[in-house]
Amino acid sequence: MLPQNDSRVAAATPAAAPGPLFPFVLQLADTSLILAHRLSEWCGHGPVLEQDLAMANIALDLLGEARSYYQYAAELEGQGRTEDDLAYLRSAVEYRNPLLVEQPNNDFAHTILRQFLFDNFHYHLLKALLTCPDTQLAAIAEKSVKEASYHLKWSSEWVIRLGDGTPESRQRLEKAIATLWRFGEELTTATPSEKALQELGVLPDYATLLPAMQAHTAYVFAEATLPLPGPVFGQQGGKTGRHTEHLGYLLSELQYMQRTYPGLTW
Amino acid sequence: METLEQVLTPEEQFQARIDADVRIEPKDWMPEAYRKTLIRQISQHAHSELVGMLPEGNWITRAPSLKRKSILLAKVQDEAGHGLYLYSAAETLGTTRDQMLADLHSGKAKYSSIFNYPTLSWADMGCVGWLVDGAAILNQVPLCRTSYGPYARAMVRVCKEESFHQRQGFEIMQTLCEGAPEQKAMAQEALNRWWWPTLMMFGPKDADSPNTEQSMKWRIKRFTNDELRQKFVDMMVPQAEFLGLTVPDEKVKWNEERQAYDFGEVNWDEFWAVVKGNGLCNQERLQARVSAHEEGAWVREAANAHAAKRAAREAVAA
């Protein structure tokens, strides 16, 4: 089925192929699912009960958002696949999440920094999608942007606490920055599908999101008494299906039941 | 004329309030043994919520559908929330969460033995919800009327969520039982493993339960262990039949005269072995909690250090 609420998208979408919207919506779905999965690995093992709850909460929000995207992607594709088919029966090379979100939890500092980098992009993207001509994406953004603003507040506060906490917390955060900063750039680097949607006016040019993202990062790092990281060699590939080794293991766990018992209802 | 206060000892006045079903509140006088019993019971309950996150948490990353994953994660998160209310309720009796956790980690405080059994298949998520939460509800519903106010109020919230958990557990079992043969076999296999351990959740036989009498007198407890165990069997046997599953106890039989099910004897050796730390998962459950606490120490220290720095800066600014 074609997206019918915007004639420009429909016009650019040949009837036989799903067009650029399908891979993009799938990318959003994969991204939220993989990060939710990672956060859910903390469940029962958090540093303090309140933060265990907070991480489960964020995971639940992202999982809910992922489901909305998968359902929409399935509808766009129009081949009878369900949200579960898309999540459970695609291989790692078919997954479209950016490399950042599949990175392991490591310690709490890594989890926080991964979340901060993602939230800062996610929140600003959703804000821009509120006025998206594709009404379905706009509706999902409307539902998710408030949650994303809480996520960003939470991860920003923790970056500040860890940076301006103890020597150990600062050192751990610096290590997380050294490991994860290089995955940030992929978030705002458009893939061919994203470029096509930007040209159609469905997606904002990511350059327009950068000033607000950078201003927020500068504020948080100043509060955390941390120097802003300099330029790094960015790692990219997840959004086009080239992942780190971590994703395969994550998917083998995520997809275990569906792969072991094909075609059953749970 | 003498007032009641002059005639009755504080102990007698306290018991008179209990007998009149007046709630005891944190600032009221209470016998030291009542306070200690409650701290023991509420903290044990809080620890059970905390440790109880682990066996179900074990399946969050492998849940078979996005919907199931979401429901399971929300359920385990509810348990963390119950832990929080209960630690807070216990703190009103003059202990601290740090002290209670230290007692858990040292092995001094107990948690429900049921969580020392492993979760081996997806059907275990059904059994934990259906049977374990079902047993917990029977234990906990009377606690909504327990004599200590903060505990009773915490339990009202806990019970509402638990009954939702139990329904979703039953629904997992029902889906499996109406599914493919291997799904039904998975459900039966899980029931075989969980049935007896859930009967053990009601505690030792009344004759072997030293705290029951005093707890009943203080109205902390309102039913005995054996009464609750019988209620559970009477409730669950028909549900298992409805699902088309067989309870793994050949002695289960309806007793017309008693209007209740007869059932076999719990393996009390196994019960005491698990209570004493020799269940399959005792060591790893406790170790998981100790590790989370120890590995989280630097995070808690950082949060405190930052809060202190911020307070100092704000004091200077003011």
Contacts of B184 in chain A (CB under 8 A): none
Q: Are B299 and A47 inside 8 Å of each other by CB?
A: yes
Report how far residue A120's alpha carbon sits from residue A123's, in angstroms, rounded to the nearest whole number.
6
Report how far residue A98's alpha carbon sits from residue B244's, in angstroms, rounded to the nearest whole number.
46
pLDDT tens string A220-243: 999 999 999 999 999 999 999 999
Q: Are B80 and A52 inside 8 Å of each other by CB?
A: yes
Give which of A38, A40, A250 to mutate to test B binding, by max B Cβ within 10 Å: A40
Cα of B279 to nearest chain A Cα, Å: 20
DSSP 8-state assignment for residue B261: E
Give me the mean pLDDT over the B50-57 stretch: 97
Q: Are B50 and A66 inside 8 Å of each other by CB?
A: no
ipTM: 0.94
Instruction: Please give the structure tokens belonging to residue B72.
Output: 């399971």
Question: What percent of chain B is predicted at pLDDT more than 70?
Answer: 98
Cα of A15 to nearest chain B Cα, Å: 29
Between residues 95 and 134 of chain B, which touch chain A (CB distance below 8 Å)?
A: 122
Cα of B46 to nearest chain A Cα, Å: 11
Question: What percent of chain A is predicted at pLDDT more than 70?
Answer: 93
What A211-215 contacts at long range (C-beta under 8 Å, 24+ apart), as own/partner pairs, is A212/A124, A213/A120, A213/A121, A213/A124, A213/A188
pLDDT at A14: 42
pLDDT at B133: 96
Contacts of A257 in chain B (CB under 8 A): 62-64, 122
B287 touches chain A (CB under 8 A): no
Mean per-residue pLDDT over chain B, rounded: 95
pLDDT at residue A16 tops 70: no
pLDDT at residue B269 tops 50: yes
pLDDT at residue B1 tops 90: no
A44 touches chain B (CB under 8 A): yes
What are residue B254's DSSP bridge partners? Answer: B261
pLDDT at B229: 98
pLDDT at residue B126 tops 70: yes
B222 touches chain A (CB under 8 A): no
The fold of A19-260 is: Ferritin (1.20.1260)
pLDDT at residue B57 tops 60: yes
Q: Are B66 and A44 inside 8 Å of each other by CB?
A: no
The pLDDT-based confidence of B210 (bands split at 50, 70, 90) is confident
Nearest to B90 by CA among B139, B29, B26: B26
Among all chains, which residue has been given the structure tokens 């053990």? Answer: B200
Q: Are B73 and A160 inside 8 Å of each other by CB?
A: no
pLDDT at B193: 98
pLDDT at residue A2 tops 50: no
H or E element at residue B255: strand B253-255
A51 touches chain B (CB under 8 A): yes
pLDDT at A15: 44
Give me the mean pLDDT over the B47-73 stretch: 98
> Who contacts B224 (Cβ-Cβ below 8 Å, separation ≥6)?
B206, B209, B212, B216
Yes or no: say if A13 and A3 are a contact pair by the CB < 8 Å rule: yes
Q: Are A43 and B87 inside 8 Å of each other by CB?
A: no
pLDDT at residue B80 tops 60: yes
Residue B184 DSSP SS3: helix
B283 touches chain A (CB under 8 A): no
pLDDT at A3: 43
B229 touches chain A (CB under 8 A): no
pLDDT at A21: 96
Count of CB contacts below 8 A, A vs B?
A: 134
Mean per-residue pLDDT over chain A, rounded: 94
Cα of B17 to nearest chain A Cα, Å: 36
Q: How distant, in Å, are the alpha carbons of A118, B3, B13, B34, B112 from that of B7?
A: 69, 7, 9, 22, 42
Angle among Cα A33, A39, A44 to the nearest 5 degrees reads 135
Cα of A41 to nearest chain B Cα, Å: 7
pLDDT at residue B312 tops 70: yes
Report how far residue B33's alpha carbon sits from residue A84's, in angstroms, rounded to the nearest whole number.
55
pLDDT at residue A51 tops 90: yes
Report how far residue B70's alpha carbon sits from residue B84's, in angstroms, rounded to the nearest whole number.
21
Q: Are A266 and B175 inside 8 Å of each other by CB?
A: yes
pLDDT tens string B212-253: 888 888 888 889 999 999 999 999 999 999 999 999 999 999
Which of the residue ranges A87-96, B68-77, B215-224, B252-261 would you say has the lowest mean pLDDT?
B215-224
pLDDT tens string A158-210: 999 999 999 999 999 999 999 999 999 999 999 999 999 999 999 999 999 99
Pairing between β-strand B253-255 and β-strand B260-262 as defined by DSSP bridges? antiparallel
Instruction: Please give the structure tokens belonging to residue A153.
Output: 């507040």
pLDDT tens string B150-174: 999 999 999 999 999 999 999 999 9
Chain B residue closest in CA terms to A42? B57
B305 touches chain A (CB under 8 A): yes
Contacts of B53 in chain A (CB under 8 A): 43-44, 52
- Across the interface, of A53, A59, A168, the residue whose CB is closest to B81 is A53
pLDDT at A11: 42
pLDDT at B214: 87
Chain A residue closest in CA terms to B76? A43
Q: How many residues are listed for chain A in this entry?
A: 266
pLDDT at B138: 94
pLDDT at residue B22 tops 50: yes
Q: Are B63 and A257 inside 8 Å of each other by CB?
A: yes
Could you write out the three-class secondary structure of A145-194?
HHHHHHHHHHHHHHHHHHHCCCHHHHHHHHHHHHHHHHHCHHHHCCCHHH
Among all chains, which residue has been given the structure tokens 């309030």? Answer: B17
pLDDT at residue A8 tops 50: no
Chain B residue closest in CA terms to A225? B306
HSE-CB for A205 with a 13 A CA cutoff: 4
Q: Are A168 and B301 inside 8 Å of each other by CB?
A: yes
B77 touches chain A (CB under 8 A): yes
B313 touches chain A (CB under 8 A): no
Q: Where are the domains of chain A?
A: 19-260
Phi then psi for B182, rounded to 5 degrees? -70, -25
A165 touches chain B (CB under 8 A): yes
User: CA torsion A116→A120→A125→A130, rounded to 10°?
Assistant: 100
